[in-house]
């Protein structure tokens, strides 16, 4: 699943990967990339994970939220560049796109 995020600092792409192996810890990985539209180059700038124990119910939406929260606190480059205004706009666009995806699936 990919989400695009536009901000005054540039364009970003958020991707998720899941490891849902039965009887093992399940993992959701979120990666944030800076995206250059002209060169179509993506540079990874942050990564976050969430973990689910085998005895717990695996819910992708909950895992994505936790992974993104950790991602926003784990920049690989330029620490502290995700200020409150950036995070607020990021979450707003993220939830808007989640809602739009749900409408498309109906």
- The strand pair at 41-52 and 26-36 is best described as antiparallel
pLDDT at 106 over 70: no
Average pLDDT value for the chain = 84
Domains in the chain, number: 1
pLDDT at 19 over 70: yes
Cα 62 to chain center, whole Å? Answer: 12
| Beta-sheet strand order (sheet of 26-36) | 2-7, 10-19, 26-36, 41-52
- The pLDDT of residue 80: 58
- The strand pair at 10-19 and 2-7 is best described as antiparallel
- The pLDDT of residue 47: 92
The rounded percent of the chain whose pLDDT value lies above 90 is 30
Range of the domain at 6: 2-105
Residues 7-29 as b or e (16 or more Cβ within 10 Å = b): eeeeebebebebeeeeeeebbbb
- The pLDDT of residue 69: 92
- The pLDDT of residue 85: 83
């Amino acid at each position: 699943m990919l989400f695009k995020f536009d901000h005054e600092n540039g364009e970003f792409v958020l991707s998720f990967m899941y490891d849902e192996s039965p009887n093992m810890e399940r993992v959701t990985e979120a990666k944030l990339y800076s995206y250059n539209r002209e060169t179509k180059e993506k540079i990874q700038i942050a990564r976050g994970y969430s973990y689910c124990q085998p005895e717990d119910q695996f819910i992708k939406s909950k895992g994505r939220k936790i992974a993104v929260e950790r991602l926003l606190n784990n920049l690989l480059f330029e620490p502290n560049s995700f200020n409150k205004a950036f995070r607020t706009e990021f979450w707003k666009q993220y939830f808007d796109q989640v809602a739009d995806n749900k409408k498309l699936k109906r």
